[in-house]
Structure 1
Amino acid sequence: MATMDQPLAARHIQNYTEASSLEPHWGYVSRAVPCTNDAGSCAYLDLVYGSHDRGMLYSGILWCTLGGVLFLWALGRRLWPSRRADEIVNVDTERELAAKSSSSRLRRSLACYGRSYLLPDSVRSVFGRTTRLQVLVLAVLSGYLLIWSFVGITYKTWITPVKSSPGLYNTRTSIGPWSDRVGILAYALTPLSILLSSRESILSLLTGVPYQSFNFLHRWLGYIIFAQGSLHTMSWCIVEIKLYNPQPTTAVEWITQTYMIWGLVAMTLLLLLFVLSMPFAIRLTGYEFFRKAHYVLAMLYIGACWGHWEQLKCFLLPGLLIWFLDRGVRYARSAMLHYGFLPDGSVGFKAAHANLTHFADAEHGDVVRMDFSHSQDAWKIGQHFYICFAECSIWQSHPFTPLNLPVVKGGVVAHSYIFRAKKGETKKVAELALKKLSENKSATTPLILSGSYGESIAENLTPHVNVLCVAGGTGITYVLPVLLSLVQQPAMTDRKIELIWAIRKRADMGWVEQELNIIRQAAKTHEVPIHIFVTREQSSASLLDDSKTSEKDANVKETGSGSSSSSSLNGALSSSSLEVKRIGGRESGTHPDLQKMVGRFVENTVRGPTTVYASGPGGMISDLRAIVASCNSGAKVWKGNERFDVRLTYDDRLEW
């Protein structure tokens, strides 16, 4: 942005009128050579430009390192892909080959060691419900940035005369070059931050890691950029206001320059981004306000950074392109889902229309079930869609996981979802459904879909893997498709499949009555024990008597001090191994003993590894991380005992 006749050039004490040439420096103003200032000033300029050039080099090394890691990761996925379930022809042969293969046992035992140490939460008071692995990745990145922030800088002080004010001196130190280095790194990290936040994630395509798993790094990288920007700003304030003379003339001339005004604007926007992303601010303003304000402030911040130091636009332009590409692909995916042939034969936009079923719950928020069919390709189990409730607001969309299997029939796929309506858009939908039902109208609403997003969670579920599904409340939507897929496959000898579901009231089982009925129908060939824990329901002698009667008629085992009963649901589950246990009262916070139940499941498996699928409150997921980590034993897996190879696959969207 600066040229030789602008104040920025004069700030660097360079005499352009006596220079024989201008020496270009990428990302910085050109240098006048030879230097005709005093020896101290010339030495300082050598440091400024040398440190800047190395900073640009280090930024390039940073991006080359990231690119190399992603390349090797993607190459490894291509060269050593995980075996898919549909590729396994003979399960016993597959087990024998895996047991005899030293490379396979080594890989799995190392994975077990990694899970046992890196899966649990780490410093929850600081990082929230985040695995040690993610914190380790953050620590490595932070250490890498810390090294590049300080190396290649000569730390020295020069006292130089002020030409315009005889008798006054400037104190020139390494603070200026160091703050420039930090500023360069902040610019260089901007496109990475946007990459980590993208829903249409390039990183997910390369690594296979779901885009939502990068949210933690995106948030903390934002904190790092804020710290870098703050240090850059404060350092130059010290230099221009304290170390340079005469004062206050120098400070006033510095702060009123155009590039400095844009710098202050950028820092103000970065401060707003930081404050509004804090948990207390999100709770105060609402998630939707945070999300939209984040978009706007981020784009304005990049624009202000461009105005502050245009020479570093090589980092800003890719960030803008990534963001606009992400938004464009989102709209294109929605258009592909909804544009097609209309009933009159024309081509146009057609919203999906969902039938709403309302389950009243005045204490904890009503639950709504949505069922509809849509013309599209099938998604993969575990993927989710962003759904916009067009009748309520076209400016918001929310992620929902289908609870049914993706089966295409006549070019149409059925969708089923449940969600608890607490506030915001989901509460509007519940109120809309209740209003239409009270008016004896058809409870339907138009929807706009975007997706599918995420990775398959059942593609690599080979027949010898034992499966334990753990869900809390509406988290059942994540694990049900896995169970429905398994019961449609041939039954496997010695394979264990089990469901643990914690709900507040027994009547909540009605949310997924149809899907539980499908599991019942497969009970003749598949043994799928279902343990349902009712955590918040008052005891009642009459209800207990009804439960005992239902147990005789429906072969449903009921334990505990009492719970309500649904005769239609009990009838649907007449052949399944279902246990309903009341473990808490109306105000109780009691939860199932997952440590005991998961440990017992793993110990009772005959052979083969175990995969735990989980979805529910953050506390439950944190407990399961620690429990699953304790079940892993790399030493035992190396000796051929596969039972101690336990994986956890969970829906971390509930932690947003």
Structure 2
Amino acid sequence: MEFEKRHGSSSSMDLFYEALNDDLARYSLLALGCAAAAYYIWQLTVRFSDHLRRLSTFNDDSQRYFVPAHEKFSWIKNHLIYAPMFRNRHNRELQLSQAINMGTLPSRFHGLLVTGVVAMNVILCVVTVPYASDESTTAGIVRNRTGTMATVNLIPLVLMAGRNNPLIAMLHVPFDTWNLLHRWLGRIVVCEALAHTFAWAIPKAQDASWSAVGEYITGSSFLTAGLVTTCTSVALLVHSPSPIRHAFYETFLHLHIALAAVCMGFLWVHLNGYAAQKYLLGAIILWALERATRLFIIIYRNLGRASTTATIESMPGDAMRITLRLARPWKFRPGQHIYLYIPAVGLWTSHPFSVGWSEDEDKMSDEKSLPMAHQDLIGAPQQTTLSLLVRRRTGMTDKLYQRAADAMGGRITLRAFAEGPYGNIHTMDSYGTVMLFAGGVGITHHVPFVRHLVAGFADGTVAARRVTLVWIIQSPEHLEWIRPWMTSILAMDRRREVLRIMLFVTRPRNTKEIQSPSATVQMFPGRPNIDTLVGMEVENQIGAMGVLVCGNGSLSDDVRRVCRKRQSKSNLDYVEESFSW
């Protein structure tokens, strides 16, 4: 056996522990699968309940039955699901300076998930180890156990990192949460790899010397591949902390992928002949499938008789409105986002953006032809246009803004590739009262929800009877960002009966420019009092209430705090749209 060649003669006890290690690796996957299955059942229950609530409101405008809070569930939401790890801070970034970003704190629920994953790995790495035996036997078992666990954890590690992770849609868990778990599981894998390496090296050094350990490694391709695997895994950990990741994201991303490929390649050589190699094969297959899926989506969405183009228009306040004309029709739903590639500016790099508006246009093949008959218009091919609102930052967005601003008329058209759609795990259709808080370009995420809910109210397909949009901007000039979209919404049938818009301008040039166009569209100077606004909606609440927020970390944490405080008073759900990287 390969094991005998590398470690000396094999005994029945060695074979027993090898089989046990394989069983424990399977148990770890089984435990994660059972947790996912339990959460899936819970999500099915919640979705079915929301569906029944929406159906029951079609003939009941008061929706009184759904206003009171469920005592036990509201306590769970207040103290676990919505609760930050400490006090009120969750999504507001920890910054040592303007250049050093330490990331965000996980929520209490996320902390529980991370603790559970860490505890499971610690238990599986130390259980059944015969510590009373001689040191070499104990070290050998720990070595093999940690190596097997590090390898099997690559399967969920790769799965959690993918944009096309099927569990996102199945469990309605956002990519943001999977990204958090991916980072922590990666740290666990590195710790297990280090434990595996030192459990081999220390006994060898005790028997001979550290120089002898070096000779062992250089004289064996098996040991050399293992050392390179451990070193690359440590390099993956060292270059991944939040300050480095945020300061040099593009460099981090490409280096991360390259190091991961090198790590898996040398690990394959190291595991040749071992049972754990099948777990590495599973991780490689998942990685290859995810990459192939992304490539297929990009080709299918953007290449056809025509190609996808992006019209970039510079806007006030260092913002851009990007209109994508897709090569093929695209069914868009509120809450979705895309990854945008513009090779002329960012080469092969992509960035995620929420889709703010979508329309289907008739493609006229020949502008000089005679007017088409009605039957021809019905059968005419459709072209989908998606509109994005992007704030100028650094890197790709800065270059893109400069090119648009320098172009004639502040507008430029470039070849583009759109990957997606992703997201849409939240629906607001079953809530009688909906509040939408947006800060700056966060309005992009909310506009499709407003459009959908107003149309649904007119058609009688949603439960919404009160929809309040609160948008916080720095200057009245920022209203130009969404003026064409909001003009369409304000002209919708029965809009005045359901929609109220409140605009808060934090840095007006003078108070005279703050004028409310109507009773349903109001403008105010300064920042909103979140507690007062949510309290007013709770007092007039119709049915269950859903609060959706998309903005900076401070806004999200303020809305979260207020919603937690009112859990015992009414049936109120809090939804946060965020993207951590």
TM-score where L is the length of structure 2: 0.85
Give 1:92 deviation, angstroms.
6.0
Report which structure shows greater RCO (CA 8 Å, sep ≥6).
2
Give 1:413 deviation, angstroms.
2.4
Partner of 1:490: 457
Q: Secondary structure at the match of 1:452?
A: strand
Partner of 2:79: 117
Partner of 2:154: 190
For 1:514, the aligned partner's letter is P
Deviations 1:358-393 (A, max 9, x none): 1244xxxx1001124333131221111111113213
User: Please, which runs of 5 or more residues in structure 1 have no aligned partner?
Assistant: 15-30, 34-45, 159-170, 342-349, 557-573, 584-590, 637-643
Q: Relative to 1, partners in 2 of residues 1:406 and 1:78: Cα closer, same or farther, differing over 3 Å?
A: farther
Greater CA drift, 84-93 or 141-150: 84-93
What is the number of residues matched between the two proteins? 541
Q: Relative to 1, partners in 2 of residues 1:402 and 1:252: Cα closer, same or farther, differing over 3 Å?
A: closer
Q: Relative to 1, partners in 2 of residues 1:105 and 1:195: Cα closer, same or farther, differing over 3 Å?
A: farther
Partner of 2:429: 461
Matched, 1:62 2:32: no
Partner of 1:38: none
Give 1:441 deviation, angstroms.
8.1
Out of 392, 396, 414, the residue aligned to residue 425 of structure 1 is: 396
Partner of 1:629: 564
Q: Secondary structure at the match of 1:378?
A: coil
Distance 2:337 2:287 in 1: 21
Q: Relative to 1, partners in 2 of residues 1:88 and 1:200: Cα closer, same or farther, differing over 3 Å?
A: same
Q: Relative to 1, partners in 2 of residues 1:225 and 1:182: Cα closer, same or farther, differing over 3 Å?
A: same
For 2:2, the aligned partner's letter is A
Distance 2:554 2:148 in 1: 40
Matched, 1:172 2:166: no
Deviations 1:155-199 (A, max 9, x none): 1243xxxxxxxxxxxx53523312321221111101110001111
Q: Relative to 1, partners in 2 of residues 1:630 and 1:396: Cα closer, same or farther, differing over 3 Å?
A: same
Partner of 2:321: 369
Q: Relative to 1, partners in 2 of residues 1:207 and 1:64: Cα closer, same or farther, differing over 3 Å?
A: same
Out of 484, 487, 491, the residue aligned to residue 514 of structure 1 is: 484
Partner of 1:91: 57
Partner of 1:268: 231
Distance 2:465 2:553 in 1: 29
Out of 140, 145, 149, the residue aligned to residue 116 of structure 2 is: 140
Distance 2:440 2:410 in 1: 29
- Asked whether the 8 Å contact 1:467–1:497 carries over to 2, the reply is yes
Out of 543, 555, 561, the residue aligned to residue 608 of structure 1 is: 543
Q: Secondary structure at the match of 1:377?
A: coil
Partner of 2:573: 647
Q: Secondary structure at the match of 2:48?
A: coil
For 1:516, the aligned partner's letter is M
Distance 1:197 1:407 in 2: 33
User: Please, which runs of 5 or more residues in structure 2 have no aligned partner?
Assistant: 95-101, 363-380
TM-score where L is the length of structure 1: 0.76
Q: Secondary structure at the match of 2:497?
A: coil
Give 1:66 deviation, angstroms.
2.1
Distance 2:312 2:103 in 1: 38
- Asked whether the 8 Å contact 2:358–2:384 carries over to 1, the reply is no
Matched, 1:155 2:131: yes
Greater CA drift, 59-68 or 492-501: 492-501
Over the aligned positions, Cα root-mean-square deviation in angstroms equals 3.1
Q: Secondary structure at the match of 1:607?
A: coil
Larger Rg: 1
Distance 1:249 1:616 in 2: 56
Partner of 1:401: 354
- Asked whether the 8 Å contact 2:314–2:410 carries over to 1, the reply is no
Partner of 1:299: 261
Give 1:73 deviation, angstroms.
4.3
Distance 1:384 1:495 in 2: 27
Deviations 1:464-491 (A, max 9, x none): 5211000111000011111111222335
- Asked whether the 8 Å contact 2:336–2:424 carries over to 1, the reply is yes
Partner of 1:164: none
Distance 1:190 1:352 in 2: 36
Q: Secondary structure at the match of 1:614?
A: strand
Give 1:337 deviation, angstroms.
1.1
For 2:551, the aligned partner's letter is G
Partner of 2:529: 593
Out of 369, 390, 413, the residue aligned to residue 384 of structure 2 is: 413
Matched, 1:443 2:412: yes
Distance 1:507 1:86 in 2: 43
Deviations 1:528-549 (A, max 9, x none): 3322222234x5xxx444x37x
Out of 310, 316, 322, the residue aligned to residue 280 of structure 2 is: 316
Q: Relative to 1, partners in 2 of residues 1:233 and 1:75: Cα closer, same or farther, differing over 3 Å?
A: same
Give 1:622 deviation, angstroms.
2.7
For 2:153, the aligned partner's letter is L
Q: Secondary structure at the match of 2:85?
A: coil
Matched, 1:336 2:292: no
Greater CA drift, 91-100 or 121-130: 91-100
Give 1:398 deviation, angstroms.
1.0
Partner of 2:175: 211
Partner of 2:366: none
Q: Secondary structure at the match of 1:376?
A: coil
